[in-house]
Chain A
Amino acid sequence: DGGITQSPKYLFRKEGQNVTLSCEQNLNHDAMYWYRQDPGQGLRLIYYSQIVNDFQKGDIAEGYSVSREKKESFPLTVTSAQKNPTAFYLCASSDGTYNSPLHFGNGTRLTVT
């Protein structure tokens, strides 16, 4: 089955540590996205990539970094510079055309204490 796999499902880290969230897709999609979801708020865009080896900052990129070395993979690193990292993180992909729907993974819930 084609889809997006995010791992792990739950992640716990101590404050001051960097952590990397995995996102892999086998949909052959060019575009990939990272969103953050907080209770009572809409999804907010962290980073996106429309092609391999290229990515752009979204609305809340501070404290995060990404790479896109392979078409199917778009890992997100939450650095110690992110002030409030505890959240639900969602990875998504699309074929990159204007009217293509977004496909989402099942998310990673990160808790930093």
Chain B
Amino acid sequence: AQSVTQLGSHVSVSEGALVLLRCNYSSSVPPYLFWYVQYPNQGLQLLLKYTSAATLVKGINGFEAEFKKSETSFHLTKPSAHMSDAAEYFCAVSDPYNQGGKLIFGQGTELSVKP
């Protein structure tokens, strides 16, 4: 079975500081990995995804994530936080071979950005 663990339900950074949101996964097969962002009262928007190509994935709004198989991690980073980055972030895993496009989400990390 697949699962995702996001370390830290709340992360607070200052504007301009590095953003680091942690995600560890469990999967018996090479997974697809995703980061989604959710703004208040909105649906989820895809930030980036890893599908077995380059291990460093660049996404929208300056975010990137690195797939590290040895650490079973897919942490999300952004060099410089902006006030508009304040939102809930979800890491998700998908097994394309047995579960179609089913996404298994972590608990989410709420990012706050202080001026």
Partners in one complex: no
Binding site for B on A (CB under 8 A): none
